Amino acid sequence: MPSDLFSLKMRASSGSRHISGAEKILEPAAVPAHLQSLLDRAMHHANGEPDFINFKLERLPADSILHLDALPVRSMTADSPEGGLAIMRDLLASLGIVRAAEIVGLLREIRGMRGAVLLDASTLERLEPDRERGVRATMMDAARAGNEPPASPVKDHYAEAVVLAAKVASTPGIAAELCISDDPGYVTGYIASKSLGYVRISPLKEPGSPAGGRIFLYCGARDDIPRTIEFLEKCPVLVHGVRPLGSPHDAPKKEKPLDRVRAALQSLRERDLYRTEEIFESAAASSASLHGKKLLMFASNDYLDLANDSRLKEAAVEAIESFGTGTGGSRLTTGTQTIHKELERELAAFKGTEDAILFATGFAANSGVIPAICSREDMIFSDELNHASIIDGCRLSGAKIAVYRHNDMRDLERKIVEHAPCSGLVVSDGVFSMDGDVVKLPKLLKTAHRHGLFAMIDEAHATGVVGPGGHGVTSLFPELHDTPDLLMGTLSKALGSEGGFVCASHDLVEHLRNKARSYIFSTAPAPASVAAALAALRILKAEPERVERLHDNVRFFLQELRRLGIHAQTESAIVPVVVRESARALAAAKLMREDGVFVSAIRYPSVPDGCARLRMTVMASHTKSELTYTAGSLVRALETIERDK
């Protein structure tokens, strides 16, 4: 039977002024030594001489004590308090806390509280019953061997905080804890949660600043607040496995593998290249909901606004009813169902090829197809602005890669001649995803085929968008007799679903089914995705006016921009406005967000360094007044970043 323990609490004050406080949970035999040590601490404190010292000793029955493990500890350093607070904000956001920036802003304002702010994580309401005092976590200590002598009587900020953080992280209803020390000389603070662990961050304030405080982020129900406070104040907790800082275990041996990761993240932050997710509370339709705010969507690739169409949803639900939610295997084992074959047939018919093959995603298609048709002995000629999945496919193939200047068919010809004779592939985006322009298809085909090379065109942003009825880039050149050998496309953009495909001759498709590793070794696309895409394709065929509306909207949007002095161009539904520096793209996107318009700030490596841009996408469902409003918002944002340069 474990024995009962004692809670020992000390609080020293002078008049109404707090000087020092501490608490221990101890074996009976350890009480006298710790009593002495806490007395020393109270009597010789930097905060001054006490005139009142209160000791409280309380028996804790063994079975009332909760035993917890310490959180794993790591440290991050920044160049400045701003940098430290940004790290804290990003870590908080990584937990899915939407208003991370506001919460960190509040933390740096706190001073003079004895306890913590209990903050509602989504509404940011303060929930602590006493706003001046705050909520205090008490009744906790590090577990120690019974005969272990007391530590130095000086406060060990880290050791106390690690214990408190372990208790708070296990408190029902608490999502995370943020802390800045109120000691003017101590600039290290932390963020802690079950999943993050205890992350020390330094610095979080300027040396000498008396600011400091704690926030317990609450995510439970209103009725459960008393339970949370009761646990924090009353439940005795012993924390096991607390390791002193700089113990041999923690000492940086050489560079720890994770240090490199953190340094890489820090470098991204410094270059305005750090990426975070935006967490939407709605479909990515032309009107979307982000952080509780309705926004006009100008960043989605769902060009025909079909992902939220009731007919696609119904088709998906029906497919789930008939075929289940997953396929249980790859296409070559259990994953081919009648709808997979139906979709392949209809895609081939839509693109005018003999056959088609589905992939789990567009990325999987490109990265699987290219290595299936090219190997070490081959040459691949690739446009410099091709999508990352094409680039990765080229690299995976082991073929020699020659990158030609963007859409420059003379450069392509020159590069082929340099390497002739050779076998292999010319590969290009059909619509370039960050620029919106269209491949010079007739020249490309002529050049590739004259030299005996395959031609592959990626129609991810072309399918359902360019050409009459959205038939893609080949339909822009009706006089053309030649066709690409491989027409790749996605189900995830204008078709409102998910997946990739390749349309080609029967022989090529059979070859891909036998050789493309991302096809052979991926579980087949889910029935719901396949059925939704099939429904979208049928809508596309039955309602070509949707595509007409998209074309009309693009024309109108460009015209509105021109009226306001912006000469943007596109041959698709992607309208880029280049602002060069990443920071300017981010600032402009943020300004537009404040206007209620969501656009993407596109930075390196999605585009070449120094070519950062706003990427706006037009949807068939945007109204004329939404297009006019967005053009105006863009102009205002550009003027503002120009002024603030």
Give the footprint of ligand WAQ on this chain (CB under 6 A). 113-116, 134, 136-138, 157-158, 161, 164, 179, 181-183, 186, 188-190, 200, 212-214
Minimum separation from the CB atom of position 182 to Mg ion (A): 4
User: H-helix or E-strand containing 624?
Assistant: helix 624-643
Contact segment (CB under 5 A) with Mg ion among 10-18, 114-122, 182-190, 530-538 equals 182-190
Minimum separation from the CB atom of position 63 to ligand WAQ (A): 24
**Quick one: what does residue 190 bind among ligand WAQ, Mg ion, none, with the CB cut-off 5 to 8 Å set by partner type?**
ligand WAQ
Please report where in the chains the tokens 């010292």 appear, as a residue.
Answer: 53
**Quick one: what does residue 446 bind among Mg ion, ligand WAQ, none, with the CB cut-off 5 to 8 Å set by partner type?**
none
Measure the CA–CA gap between 593 and 103, rounded to whole angstroms. 20
Q: Are the CB atoms for 495 and 537 separated by under 8 Å?
A: yes
Minimum separation from the CB atom of position 211 to ligand WAQ (A): 9
Minimum separation from the CB atom of position 36 to ligand WAQ (A): 23
Given the residues 387, 451, 493, 551, select the one marked as catalytic.
493
Selected binder of Mg ion within 183, 278, 411, 581 (CB under 5 A)? 183
**Quick one: what does residue 99 bind among ligand WAQ, Mg ion, none, with the CB cut-off 5 to 8 Å set by partner type?**
none
Task: Beginning with the edge strand found earlier in the chain, give each strand of the sheet holding 17-26 in spatial order.
Answer: 17-26, 5-14, 52-60
Minimum separation from the CB atom of position 547 to ligand WAQ (A): 58
- In the complex with ligand WAQ, the residue whose CB is nearer, 137 or 531, is 137
Minimum separation from the CB atom of position 102 to ligand WAQ (A): 19
Q: Which two tokens stand for residue 600?
A: 């993407």
**Quick one: what does residue 464 bind among ligand WAQ, Mg ion, none, with the CB cut-off 5 to 8 Å set by partner type?**
none
- Both ends of the chain: CA-CA distance in Å? 71
9 annotated active-site: no
The 10 Å Cβ neighbour count of residue 279 is 11
- Three-state SS at 109: helix
Measure the CA–CA gap between 492 and 596, rounded to whole angstroms. 25
- In the complex with Mg ion, the residue whose CB is nearer, 191 or 577, is 191
Q: Which two tokens stand for residue 121?
A: 């994580």
433 annotated active-site: yes
- In the complex with ligand WAQ, the residue whose CB is nearer, 262 or 443, is 262
Q: Are the CB atoms for 507 and 526 separated by under 8 Å?
A: no
**Quick one: what does residue 189 bind among ligand WAQ, Mg ion, none, with the CB cut-off 5 to 8 Å set by partner type?**
ligand WAQ
DSSP state for residue 288 in the 8-state scheme: E
Contact segment (CB under 5 A) with Mg ion among 59-67, 104-112, 178-186, 572-580 equals 178-186
Closest by Cα among 391, 335, 397, 339 to 363: 391
Given the residues 20, 181, 286, 433, select the one marked as catalytic.
433
Residue 14: is it exposed, middle or buried by C-beta count within 10 angstroms (0-12/13-18/19+)?
middle
Task: Beginning with the edge strand found earlier in the chain, give each strand of the sheet holding 287-290 in spatial order.
Answer: 287-290, 293-297, 597-598
Given the residues 461, 471, 551, 622, select the one marked as catalytic.
461
**Quick one: what does residue 366 bind among Mg ion, ligand WAQ, none, with the CB cut-off 5 to 8 Å set by partner type?**
none
Measure the CA–CA gap between 556 and 101, rounded to whole angstroms. 37
- In the complex with ligand WAQ, the residue whose CB is nearer, 134 or 484, is 134
**Quick one: what does residue 115 bind among Mg ion, ligand WAQ, none, with the CB cut-off 5 to 8 Å set by partner type?**
ligand WAQ
Q: Is 182 in the site for Mg ion (CB under 5 A)?
A: yes
Q: Is 11 in the site for Mg ion (CB under 5 A)?
A: no
CA 210 from centre of chain: 35
Minimum separation from the CB atom of position 617 to ligand WAQ (A): 45
Q: DSSP string of 375-412?
A: -TT-EEEEETT--HHHHHHHHHHT-EEEEEPTT-HHHH
Contact map string, positions 135 to 174, toward Mg ion, x by CB under 5 A: ----------------------------------------
Q: How far is CA 622 from CA 299, 463, 617, in A?
A: 12, 19, 10
Give residues 113-142 in contact with Mg ion (rule: CB under 5 A): none
CA 226 from centre of chain: 34
Closest by Cα among 572, 563, 565, 564 to 616: 572
- In the complex with ligand WAQ, the residue whose CB is nearer, 117 or 315, is 117
Please report where in the chains the tokens 């956001």 appear, as a residue.
Answer: 93
Minimum separation from the CB atom of position 169 to Mg ion (A): 20
**Quick one: what does residue 397 bind among Mg ion, ligand WAQ, none, with the CB cut-off 5 to 8 Å set by partner type?**
none
- Non-local (6+) Cβ contacts of 421 within 8 A are 451, 452
- In the complex with ligand WAQ, the residue whose CB is nearer, 201 or 526, is 201
- In the complex with ligand WAQ, the residue whose CB is nearer, 115 or 393, is 115
Q: Are the CB atoms for 477 and 443 separated by under 8 Å?
A: no
Minimum separation from the CB atom of position 125 to ligand WAQ (A): 18
Q: Which two tokens stand for residue 359?
A: 């992939």
**Quick one: what does residue 319 bind among ligand WAQ, Mg ion, none, with the CB cut-off 5 to 8 Å set by partner type?**
none
Cis status, amide bond into 32, omega within 30 of 0:
no
DSSP state for residue 147 in the 8-state scheme: T
- In the complex with Mg ion, the residue whose CB is nearer, 206 or 270, is 206
- In the complex with ligand WAQ, the residue whose CB is nearer, 116 or 528, is 116
Q: How far is CA 123 from CA 171, 279, 382, 383, in A?
A: 20, 16, 50, 48
24 annotated active-site: no
Contact segment (CB under 5 A) with Mg ion among 181-189, 220-228, 378-386, 532-540 equals 181-189
Contact set with Mg ion (CB under 5 A): 182-183
Residue numbers annotated as active site: 433, 461, 493
